[in-house]
A and B are shown apart, each in its own frame.
Chain A
Amino acid sequence: MRVDVEEKVLSENDKLALGLRERYRKHKVFCVNLISSPGSGKTALLERTLEALPKTAKVALLTGDLQTENDARRLAKAGFPVKQITTGSTCHLDASMIIKALDDWDLDAIDILFVENVGNLVCPTSYDLGEHAKIVLLSVTEGEDKPLKYPAIFAISELCIINKIDLLPYVPFDLAQAIVNVRQVHPGMAVVETSCTKVQGLDAWMAWIERRRKQAMEA
């Protein structure tokens, strides 16, 4: 006996993500989901981003890790609301974790919600968190062929940030080739080059957020 079902395996997560997307629309929250390998500089990028924002900005952050509150502590220094999501041993954030974390937050008090995913280039690909855009980070201490090795996350993210560019003189990373690789996997993908220790490229990143947020709010 054969029972046809034809449904998405992650339909539970997709339903929850749809609910989140609806809440973001209603409360005018712009949400981005930052994804990279461990150590590419997601937290550092967020630290610099928060420093560049006016103290009155309505920004909040969720940061995922397997263990520790370290990232939340780092990010809390800027004075914006931050919550750590510790996943135990789970290698990604899913929509139910976001819903739980947002439980006691007033979404009307948030214009931009940054979600820092667990450091992992594979698993977060499959989980919709209701975000407006996924953003993938790659740092120059990694290989420039990473987009070719992990194409799925580069194919579905809207923006690629190439971080730690201050280290370019000391590493064999071929920046031009990296961008070619990114765009092989994702034609026309927007790329921003940053250094979070020397504070370079932050303007382009902030401009991207503002432009993309306006676009999301008009949609």
Chain B
Amino acid sequence: MPAMHELSIASTILDRAKAASEGNGGARVTKIGLRIGEISGVETDALTFGIEALSKDTPLQGVLLEIEFCKRKQRCTACAAEFEPEGFQAICPTCHGDQSECIAGKELDVMYFELEDPACA
């Protein structure tokens, strides 16, 4: 098992891509769309490395990644204002309240796969 958790996540993503290919007549997957939140615990560089390393010498070698990065967003408990904390300073800029809940930033989603049109057989 890989020691870096991005590697196990990369492996899961590649499994999904393989399944998408198989579900579409073996069409080659050329691009994977991902959404990664600021506090998902995943480093995009490490994930990209993991995808490259694990796809080497497989039909997925060279697959492109399109990563949509999601900033952490908080909603103030007192005044319901939504804000992006500056450098993890989670103080509401509207009412200066220090209680808020996280409403975005934990994403770790596969959004789409782009496949080559199936070869005419």
Contact = CB atoms under 8 A, between A and B. Distances in A.
B102 A155 contact: yes
Interface string B69-86: 000100000000000000
B5 A92 contact: yes
A115 B15 CA distance: 29
A188 B3 contact: no
Interface string B60-99: 0000000000001000000000000001111100000011
Given A90-B1, A90-B3, A184-B88, A126 B20 contact: no
Nearest to B74: A187
B15 to A, nearest CB: 9
Contact of A185 (B16, B24, B88): B88
Contacts of B54: none
Contact of B109 (A6, A87, A90, A91): A6
Contacts of B59: none
A187 B100 contact: yes
B45 to A, nearest CB: 13
B16 A5 contact: yes
Interface string A116-142: 000000110111000000000000000
A88 B2 CA distance: 9
Contact of A188 (B2, B98, B102): B98
Given A9-B12, A92-B5, A2 B90 contact: no
Contacts of B8: 90
Contact of B112 (A6, A125, A153): A6
B53 interface: no
A88 B3 CA distance: 9
B97 to A, nearest CB: 8
A148 B106 CA distance: 17
B40 interface: yes
Interface of B: 1-5, 8-9, 12-13, 16, 20, 24, 27, 34, 39-42, 72, 87-91, 98-100, 102, 106, 108-117
